[in-house]
Every structure is written in structure tokens, then in C-alpha cells.
Structure 1
């Protein structure tokens, strides 16, 4: 028996997650000064973290020899105030929202179960589900990337456990209507997972529906609006019955002490939140109007660009040579070969991106 046979066959066939390029790798490959490179491929906050979050990390740096609270209770209480929801409906998670997904799949999925993905969308849903034995049923989105609710409902079978919705969707940036979410919740016996990683940049959230429906889970993150991607901090909003079961299998102490303290501080920094939102909305409009290719409407902190008849790889390569990292979307199942995702940056960064697209 080869060593590889020790690994479950279902896992061996999972496509690898493709992250955005790093500044270090780009500088090395293209012989560029790292300081000259702008990274707009991973939807990070170009303003950085809240100064209050940084202060909280520094204040608690000398305490990292101690375990944090097992359930991140202090952070959950802060999130309760931030969301105006009971603590009984909120779970903190690390690393990032990915940790929430991993634990939910471990809790819910059994061998032979199915999950439904409207594609293209965030690829980690598939990885987390298949790693726990699920089969993935892909449903194509409409031409404008809106979710085809009728097609999703037709794809549901007796084995379907979870329907994944990303709102705003990654990589297209469009929302799922609340009426569509309600329709699925009312017609489906399993869980509906709504990923709201980018919702602070959008118009509305469905977290309030957790108080109405007992089969909704909403995933959130501190990686985007709060600028804490490097701390890997997320959380979930879910029915109280599910939180009780979720905590039984959650990894103890899964939120580190620095992440916990930074998260609590970041939530209170309304000035940083408002500044980040204003920057994104202004920059998003600028990119939509100035990039010389088709740019889809977005409610997130990025825009999706269709560079056809050219290829995404060709245009991305041209931008990389100019020191600009964007996201080639070919790794997103069902995205085709001509889509590029561009994170909204500062005005100076956005200007460089537009100039680079014009000369690509």
C-alpha cells in the first residue's frame, strides 16, 4: 500500500484551494521592489486594522502564555451588542469563517450527504463539505450571476443537508434577495448557510432571520471591514439549538487571545468602520466607471471584470509585471477564463489599477 492510500479517496480528489498571490512571491518572480507592489487580489482592507485593535493586541501581547476563554465569551458578548442579537445565537470562530465552516460540516455532514453550491462562488465551501464526506451538487447562476432559486430547489434531494449562499457573492459581488433566502428556508428541511463576509459594504443583512427560522446559519468575518485578516477571526449567527450542538465539537480555545481582544476593540471603532465603508463605496464606483472592460455591479469591496475576448491569465500577467496583484478567477468553478476580481483600494491604488488595465 502506498502512503497516499492512507488518505481518504474523497479527500485526494478535492481541488486545492487557490489563494491570492502574495507580495513577496510577486516581487521575486518579476524582480520588483516589494514596496512598489499593490495587493488587490485578496479583498483585504487597504486602510489596515483599527488603531484600537492594534492597541488591544499590544496591551495583551504579554499574556499570550495564558489560554483565552474556551468559548470567546467576551467577544460573543460584544458581537451581541453589535448585532442586537442574543449571545445564545452567536459563536466566535477561528481560524476565520473557515473554522466555522469546518466545524459545521463536521457536525452536520455524514458520508453520502449532499450540499448545493450556486457557482461560481467561494471555493472553500466545497473543500469543507467534501472533506467530511459530502457530494457537491453545483447549480449554475444566471447570466448576471444572480442565484437561480428554481434550479436550486429542483436540485434538492432527500440527501441534501446544506445549501450555500454567498451574499454578497465572491467573486461576483451581488446580493441574494431576502425573499429568496426566505423561500429556501421555508421549503428546505436542511440548513441554509449564508456567507456575509462582505455584508458591511452592502445594503442589508439576513442575520435577523435567525430569530424566525431554525435552519439558517449566517457566517461573518473580521477579515474584511475590520482589517484583521492576519488574525483569522470569524463568527457565526445561528439558532440556539444549533449553537448548543456546535459547541460540543468546536475546538477548545479556537480564538486566540490577541484575536479575541482585537475583535472586541475593532467592533467599537465606528470611525474606522465608517471610513472603510466610504472608501469602498467611492472607489467601487470609480473602478466601475473607469476600467475599460465590462465591470459588473457590486455591493462588496471588490469588482468583477470581464476582459473577454482576452483571457484573464493574459491580463493578470500584464498587471503583475506592473506590480499590481489582482485575482484571476479561473480557479472558481464555473467562472470561465475571462474574469478578474479587483479589490477596491485607496484612490491612489485605484488610479494605478485603471491605468494598468488601459495599457494591458
Structure 2
């Protein structure tokens, strides 16, 4: 028997995750100076983390020899204040929201289980489900990237455990409506997971609806608006009955002690959050106005650019040679070959992006 036969077939069938390119990778490949490269391919906060978060990390560094709280209680308390929901409906997670997804899949999915995914969207929903023996069922979004509510409902079977919807959606940046979400949760038997990773940049959130529906889960992260991508902090807002079960399946101590204090401090820094939001609002408008291709309206900290009739890979290659890292969306299921996702940067970075597209 080959050693590879020891690996579960569910894992062998998974296509590797495709991350955004790193500065080091591009500097080496194109013989560029790293300090001349701008990284706008992973939807990070270019302003960096909250100063309060940095101060909290330094102040607690000497305690890393001690295990953190098993249930991330300090962070859960800070999240509760931030979102206005009770602690018995909140779970902290690491690494990032991906950890929340893995915990839910471990809790819910067994061979034969199905999950419904509205595509194109974040690929980790599929990866996590497959890794746990689940079968993804894909429902393509409409041409304008709005969700197809009727088709999503029709895709649910007795085997469906979860439906995944990202709002604002990655990579398209658009949000679904409250009417659409209510129609789904009221007419399906499965759990509905709404990924609100980019909600701080949007004009709506569905957190309060968790009080009304016992099959709705909201996932969030501190990687985007709060600038803590390197600490990998996520959280979930879910019905109290589900939290009880989730805590049985979730990994204990999965949020580090440094992440607990940094995350709690970041959530309290309203000034830094407002600066980040304002930078994104101004940058979105600038890129939409001046990139010389079709740019979709966005509620996130990125915009989606359609460069058809040319291919995304050719435009991305052109930009990389200028030291501009953006995201070729070809690897997103059902995204086609002409879409590019661009993270909002500083005013100077955004100008460089516009010049790069304009010179193609």
C-alpha cells in the first residue's frame, strides 16, 4: 500500500487553496525591491492594526507561557459589547473565521451530508466541508452577482446541513437584502451561515436576526477592518442552543492569549475603525471612477474589476511587473477568466493601481 493511501479520499480530492501572492514572492520573481511593491490582493487593512491592540499585545507578551482561556471568554465579552448580542450566543474562534467553519463542519458534517454554496465565493466553505466528508452543492449567482434565492431553496435536500452565503460577497463585494435572507431562513430546513467578514464596510448587517431564527449563524473576523489578519481571530454569532453543541466540537484554547487581548482592545478602538472605514469609502469611489474597465459596486474593502475581453491573468501579470499585487479571480469557482479583485489601499496606492490598469 502506498503511503498516500493512508490519506482520507475526501482530502485527496480537494484542490489546494490558492492564497494571494506575497511581497517576497513577487520581489524575487520580478527582481523588484520589496519596498516598492504594494500588496492589494488579500483584502488586508493597509492602515495596520489599532495602536491599542499593539499596546495590549506588548503588555501581555510575558504571559504567553500560560494557556489562554479555553472558551475565549475575554474576547467573547468584548464581542458582546461590540455587536450588542448576549455572550451565550457568541463564540470566539481561531484561526480566524476558518476555525469557526472547521468547528461547525466537524459538528455537523458526516459522509453523505451536503452543503449548499452560492458561487462565485470564498473557497474555504467547500474545502472545509469536503475535508469532513461533506458534498458541496453549488448554486451560481445571477449575472449581477445577486443570489438566486429560488435556486438556493431548491438545492436543499434532506441531506443538507448548511447553506453558505457571503455578504458582502467575496469576490464581488455586493450584499444580499434582508428580504432575501428572511426568505431563505424561513423556507429551508438546514442551518444558514452568513459570512460577514466585510460587514464593517457595508450598509447592513444581519446580526439582530439571529434573535429571530434558530437556524441562522453569522460569521465574522478581525482580519479585515480591524487589521489583525496575522493574529487569525474570528467569531460566530449563533442561537444559544447551537453554541452549547458547538463548544463540544470546537478546539479548546484555539484563540491565543495575545490574540485575546489584542482582539478585545481592537474592538474598543472606535477611532481606528472609523479611519479604516473612511479610507475604504473614499478609495472605493476613486477606483470605481478611474479604473478604465468595468468596476462593480462594492460594500467591502475591495472592488471587482472585469477586464473582458482580455483575460485577468494577462492584466495581473502586467500589474505584477509594476509591483502591484492584486487577485486574479480565475481560481474562484464560476468566476470566469476576466475578473480581478483589488483591495482598497491608501490614496497613493490607489493612484498607482489606476495608472497600472490605464497603461495596459
**In the aligned structure 2, how far is the partner of 1:128 from the partner of 1:178?**
27
SS at match of 1:299: coil
| Structure 1 position 106, deviation (Å) | 0.3
1:241 lines up with 2:241 in the alignment: yes
State which drifts further: 153-162 or 347-356.
153-162
**In the aligned structure 1, how far is the partner of 2:307 from the partner of 2:163?**
31
**In the aligned structure 2, how far is the partner of 1:28 from the partner of 1:248?**
45
1:152 lines up with 2:168 in the alignment: no
Counterpart in 2 of 1:113? 113
Counterpart in 2 of 1:260? 260
- Please give the per-residue CA displacement for 1:153-204, whole angstroms capped at 9, x wherever unaligned: 1111111111100000000000011111111111111100000000000001
5 Å-filtered alignment, 1:82-93, equals: 82-93=82-93
**In the aligned structure 2, how far is the partner of 1:67 from the partner of 1:155?**
43
SS at match of 1:164: strand
Counterpart in 2 of 1:286? 286
Counterpart in 2 of 1:345? 345
**In the aligned structure 2, how far is the partner of 1:114 from the partner of 1:247?**
22
**In the aligned structure 2, how far is the partner of 1:172 from the partner of 1:321?**
25
Gaps of 5+ in 1: none
SS at match of 1:194: strand
- Please give the per-residue CA displacement for 1:259-284, whole angstroms capped at 9, x wherever unaligned: 00000100111000000000000100
**In the aligned structure 1, how far is the partner of 2:346 from the partner of 2:26?**
20
SS at match of 2:117: strand
| Structure 1 position 236, deviation (Å) | 0.2
Q: How many residues align?
A: 360
**In the aligned structure 2, how far is the partner of 1:47 from the partner of 1:7?**
42
**In the aligned structure 1, how far is the partner of 2:345 from the partner of 2:319?**
15
5 Å-filtered alignment, 1:321-340, equals: 321-340=321-340
5 Å-filtered alignment, 1:63-212, equals: 63-212=63-212
**In the aligned structure 1, how far is the partner of 2:251 from the partner of 2:139?**
32
5 Å-filtered alignment, 1:288-303, equals: 288-303=288-303
| Structure 1 position 341, deviation (Å) | 0.1
SS at match of 1:220: strand
- Please give the per-residue CA displacement for 1:202-227, whole angstroms capped at 9, x wherever unaligned: 00100111111001110000000000
| Structure 1 position 73, deviation (Å) | 0.6
5 Å-filtered alignment, 1:20-35, equals: 20-35=20-35
SS at match of 2:56: helix
**In the aligned structure 2, how far is the partner of 1:281 from the partner of 1:146?**
21
Counterpart in 1 of 2:269? 269
TM-score of the superposed pair, with normalisation by structure 1: 0.99
SS at match of 1:304: strand
**In the aligned structure 2, how far is the partner of 1:279 from the partner of 1:46?**
10
| Structure 1 position 138, deviation (Å) | 0.6
**In the aligned structure 2, how far is the partner of 1:93 from the partner of 1:9?**
27
Counterpart in 1 of 2:46? 46
| Structure 1 position 294, deviation (Å) | 0.3
5 Å-filtered alignment, 1:208-219, equals: 208-219=208-219
| Structure 1 position 130, deviation (Å) | 0.7
**In the aligned structure 2, how far is the partner of 1:147 from the partner of 1:174?**
10
SS at match of 1:235: strand
